[in-house]
Amino acid sequence: MKNNTPRYVVIDFSQLKTEDSIADESVIELSKRFMEKNRETYLKLSK
């Protein structure tokens, strides 16, 4: 600790791997949502 605040977090590596895949899935879902919401704009830009 430095100035009464934690500087490091120690977690099991297998948990880290799981959390990364969950974050990736969230990004993919968010990306799909934006693409559907802005479909017309993307189609116009692709011409």
- Is 5 within a domain? no
Place of tokens 């993307």: 42
In this prediction, residue 30 has a pLDDT band, given cuts at 50, 70 and 90, of confident
- CA distance linking residue 15 with residue 19, whole number of Å: 6
**Largest Cα–Cα separation, the chain:** 57
Q: How many domains does the chain have?
A: 1
- Is 25 within a domain? yes
CB distance 11 to 18 below 8 Å: no
Mean pLDDT of 9-28: 68
In this prediction, residue 16 has a pLDDT band, given cuts at 50, 70 and 90, of low
Domain span at 33? 13-46
One-letter amino acid for residue 12 of the chain = D
Residue 11 to residues 5, 26, 40, Cα–Cα distance (Å): 18, 22, 44
Whether the pLDDT of residue 23 is over 80: the answer is: no
Whether pTM > 0.75 for this model: the answer is no
